Structure 1
Amino acid sequence: MTGFGKSEIAIDGRRMRVEIKTVNHRFLDINIRQPRFMMFLEEDARKFLKQSLSRGRVEVFINYSSERLDAKKVIADMPLLHAYLNAAREICAKTGVADDLTVSQLMRLPDAVTYEDENSDQDALRELLFTNLEAALRELSAAREKEGAQLKKDIDARLDMILSYVETIAGKEHVIVEEYKKKLQDRIEDILDGAEVDEQKLAQEVAFYADRCNITEELVRLKSHVKQMKASGEETTPQGRNMDFIVQELNREFNTIGSKTQDGEILKMVIAGKGEVEKIREQIQNIE
């Protein structure tokens, strides 16, 4: 399910911003983008996210800055500085030019000093990260719940439409056998060219066809699947995979009904029903 949540918190001069974005995906795929010095927290962050998320592609963006006086660390490359000094002395000895190097000039020489963020307080970083993650997840959850309510309303409406198609098909179920009997009788009369039709054999053929084209079980299962789908929509636990399975079964039942009859009205309802099932299938890709 798509959603977005963010949090920005500053504690003791350390500021962190966390953004969480989720999009549709069959499985749970978490991608965390963070400063290198926070890599030691990545596995714990994944475990924390998995407690709240079970499906979707999850993008986590972590930005960090510090206003503390000890936020920066200056590192002098002493071997390199000694090499610069030795080179300067050699120049002086060979050219007679006075050595005017100062400490400030030495520090400006290429690669003489480097600057690093001082982030050695791992406990402080951990507290800041998980406080932000918790707040961002709350905002994400609220956004996803709002979208979920809209999806549920749309899916329920489509399920009601499917039930109306099922009722229409059920009302035509008895017509299937009658239409077949009439077509079979007309065909036999044409072949026999006016001769008397063997009513017993005709009845046997119609009975055989009636058993083969019976769609009562499919109609019952369709109603049951719709009921299960609606019940899943009321659950508070992740139902995406369960709904995926129910949609497959709905489609299967409509296909079976379509294969058992040539009645135009029933086939029209089958096509319409499959259309609604496909729209539901697209929608539940957004559901965790």
Structure 2
Amino acid sequence: MLKSMTGFGNATVEAGSLSVTAEVKTLNSKFLDIYCRLPRQFSDKEIDLRALLTQQLERGKVELSLNLTRTSGLRPGVTINRPLVTAYVHDIKETANGMLMSVSDSDVLQLALQQPNAYMTESADPTADVSDWNTVLAAVQAAIRRCDEFRRQDGAVLESKFQEYIQTITDRLDDIEQQDVRRIPAVRDRMRNSVKELLDSETFDHNRFEQELVYYVEKFDISEEKVRLKNHLAYFLEVLSTEEANGKKLNFISQEIGREINTIGSKANDAAIQRFVVQMKDELEKIKEQTMNVI
């Protein structure tokens, strides 16, 4: 089954006081190109997330963004060292009283908070970190699954389009085969009429003329090209129906299809066939354009 490189998936997972929303967007790209927009506390997990995205999404321009929200139980990362600040306050007041100075309580507190070690950073909780990471991982995996499903659905639409384009080329090839039956006799008669005077000459070498005629008719012959084109079209549909179908392989086959179409157009020397060739080329360009968006 085909997968498009265009996709989108988002998911929100809540656990405890943490709510995590993950979004995954993908666009077509020749290679895998990953961009992560992460909260600072999980910046060290970017390599792990990149590995996960690489394993699941294979190819394309991938953008991952995470949004974290604490729903309850918020605690500041920095707290006041209350016992020490209380000691500072008492010391400042005693000092002011000893110097017979009047200092307001707010000024005393402000001064105490400016003293060394008045603040302390809370130690990290390893258990909380592991729980938060598991929540993030669950949200990212859910977003990736939804993005991948989006890609599958878009790929099914592309597969239907490819079948339609190939059928149109096949129909035009049938038209060419019908026209080709009339073309060769017409070419032969046109060449005979062009040299009619020579044919009536007594010195004219009829055997040599027949040899030359066969040579030029063979140059106009497109039988092999029609067979190869038919095989390429069948192979394209065969690959399209496999699990291994990918944009690069389909693009290679479309290039082979294009070579046969071009050769038929250059060798046919027939206005009707040229019109069919133009229509085939138009469908082939659609195929090439769409294969650029297939994984």
Deviation at 1:278, TM superposition (A): 0.5
- My pick for the range that moved more, 277-286 or 158-167, is 277-286
Residue 134 and residue 233 in structure 1: after superposition, are their counterparts in 2 closer, same or farther (change >3 A)? same
Contact 2:77 2:122 in 1 (8 A): yes
For residues 253 and 42 of structure 1, the distance between their equivalents in structure 2, rounded to whole angstroms, comes to 48
Structure with more contact order per residue of length (Cα contacts < 8 Å, sep ≥ 6): 2
Letter in 2 for 1:38: F
- Of 8, 18, 39 in structure 2, the residue corresponding to residue 4 of structure 1 is 8
- Of 123, 127, 144 in structure 2, the residue corresponding to residue 137 of structure 1 is 144
For residues 70 and 160 of structure 1, the distance between their equivalents in structure 2, rounded to whole angstroms, comes to 62
2:245 paired with 1:245: no
For residues 49 and 192 of structure 2, the distance between their equivalents in structure 1, rounded to whole angstroms, comes to 73
2:278 paired with 1:274: no
- Of 83, 105, 108 in structure 2, the residue corresponding to residue 102 of structure 1 is 108
TM-score between both structures, scaled by the size of structure 1:
0.81
Partner residue in 2 for 1:218: 225
Deviation at 1:116, TM superposition (A): 10
Partner residue in 1 for 2:215: 208
The percent identity for this pair of structures is 29
The DSSP-based 3-state class of the residue aligned with 2:209 is helix
TM-score between both structures, scaled by the size of structure 2:
0.80
For residues 116 and 267 of structure 1, the distance between their equivalents in structure 2, rounded to whole angstroms, comes to 79
Listed as ranges, the gaps of 5+ residues in structure 2 are: none
Letter in 2 for 1:235: T
Over the aligned positions, Cα root-mean-square deviation in angstroms equals 3.2
Residue 117 and residue 263 in structure 1: after superposition, are their counterparts in 2 closer, same or farther (change >3 A)? farther
Deviation at 1:119, TM superposition (A): 8.0
Partner residue in 2 for 1:26: 30
For residues 116 and 268 of structure 1, the distance between their equivalents in structure 2, rounded to whole angstroms, comes to 78
How is 1:97-176 mapped onto 2 (pairs within 5 angstroms)?
98-100=102-104, 101-103=107-109, 121-176=128-183
Listed as ranges, the gaps of 5+ residues in structure 1 are: none
Deviation at 1:107, TM superposition (A): 5.5
Contact 2:28 2:61 in 1 (8 A): yes
Contact 1:10 1:16 in 2 (8 A): yes
Contact 1:8 1:16 in 2 (8 A): yes
Aligned residues: 271
Contact 2:236 2:250 in 1 (8 A): yes
Contact 1:18 1:132 in 2 (8 A): yes
Residue 71 and residue 246 in structure 1: after superposition, are their counterparts in 2 closer, same or farther (change >3 A)? farther
Contact 1:20 1:59 in 2 (8 A): yes
For residues 120 and 263 of structure 2, the distance between their equivalents in structure 1, rounded to whole angstroms, comes to 73
Letter in 1 for 2:268: T
Contact 2:26 2:62 in 1 (8 A): yes
Letter in 2 for 1:73: G
- My pick for the range that moved more, 213-222 or 247-256, is 213-222
